Structure 1
Amino acid sequence: MKRIGACALGLATIVFGISAVAAAQRKDDLRSPIYGVKLPKGYRDWKLISVAQENGKNNDIRAILGNEIAVKAFREGKRPFPDGTIIVRLAWRYQSSYRNDAVFLAPQSFVAGPPTNIQVSVKDSKRYAATGGWGYGQFEGELPNRDPAVVQACFACHVKLEKLEHGADFVFTGYSQ
């Protein structure tokens, strides 16, 4: 009987340990690879910085939002952006609005279709010194894209902008008035 009790206790310890590790992994699953960036709480309520349309490979429309630090820096034209700046880019496939076009009697209205992804840029000049002070994450359906190559591509693209336009602080978006 003691032996069965010891086995049950051992089994329970193993199951509890595995459950604890799995719970920790689920918690970490909300962070992007490489930079550890998470989707910020309440980001959908942040202020709009700008909108954009990308044709070609991306074929999407975008809303660029920022936290209070980002919005203040954009409005003041402050570069480099201060630490604590967070910029979130939401993207959707753009598609014709048959409903709107029926009213306007011409194919002229485009709206957001299915979401593609959310990209997050976080400014922390010490933590992300090797990438110009920025950490990046890409999320699909609120979950991080686990492919490190996707996240590495963020800085590879942003560094091209900085070479082209020194002083942009690796940020494509300008503030729309």
Structure 2
Amino acid sequence: MRRIPTARLALSAVLILGAAAHDAWADPAKSAPSPIYGVTIPDGYRKWQAIAPAEEAAPLDELRLVLGNAAAIKAIESSTLPYPDGTILVKLAYKRKQSPDIGSATVPGTPTTVQVMVKDSRRYASTGGWGFGRFINGQPVDAAQHQTCFACHAAHVKDRDYVFTRFAP
């Protein structure tokens, strides 16, 4: 039996609880499509399975949780590359804050963004098969910010089908 380090397990639990408490500002029914890609916040994403937590250092200083739809979970668990069309990954990001109950614990604070990646190799052929959406208060950020998505993924994780996230067992 594999042991999961206590700190990772605690961070995962905190992020999952934070995802459940994510504010209504990320309501997909109120979301406009992202510029360039036309990606929206998917219905029901908060009930998807957690793939991995992440922590972003300063200046962002965020806790993040990546969720995946069924296609994403199946592909990431079996290390399938490239990801199949229909894969959707959603990253929830929160400002870090100290727990008011346990001073040594870091917990999710204010939600900052919902980021979405959608795999459709035909529609997004020019960006490695992926469409991107970044949302603040449930609304997409401007086109200039969306233009940076693929460039960053291509520069760092082209060999993993442009996906940063790795499955956290």
- Counting helix residues as a fraction of each chain, which structure ranks higher? 1
SS in 1 for 2:67: strand
Cα displacement (A) at 1:152: 1.0
Cα displacement (A) at 1:98: 2.8
Cα displacement (A) at 1:28: 9.9
After TM superposition, the structure 1 = structure 2 runs for residues 17-166 of structure 1, keeping only pairs within 5 Å, are: 30-101=32-103, 108-145=104-141, 147-163=142-158, 166=159
Query: For the structure 1 residues 142 and 29, does the alpha-carbon distance in structure 2 shift closer, same or farther, using more than 3 Å as the test?
Result: closer
Q: Which amino acid aligns with 1:48?
A: A
Q: TM-score scaled to structure 2, two decimals?
A: 0.80
Q: TM-score scaled to structure 1, two decimals?
A: 0.76
Please tell me whether Structure 1 or Structure 2 has the larger radius of gyration of its CA atoms. Answer: 1
Identity among equivalent pairs (%): 46
**Equivalent residues of 2:117, 2:132 under 8 A apart:** yes
Alpha-carbon RMSD across the aligned residues, in angstroms, is 1.5
| Unaligned segments of structure 2, at least 5 residues | 1-28
Q: Which amino acid aligns with 1:74?
A: I
| Unaligned segments of structure 1, at least 5 residues | 1-26, 102-107
What is the rounded CA distance, in whole Å, between the counterparts of 1:57 and 1:63 in structure 2?
Answer: 18
What is the rounded CA distance, in whole Å, between the counterparts of 1:58 and 1:35 in structure 2?
Answer: 25
Runs of 4+ in 1 over 3 A off after TM superposition: none
What is the rounded CA distance, in whole Å, between the counterparts of 1:134 and 1:58 in structure 2?
Answer: 24
What is the rounded CA distance, in whole Å, between the counterparts of 2:139 and 2:80 in structure 1?
Answer: 31
What is the rounded CA distance, in whole Å, between the counterparts of 1:153 and 1:39 in structure 2?
Answer: 19
Query: Please, which moves more after superposition, 63-72 or 152-161?
Result: 152-161
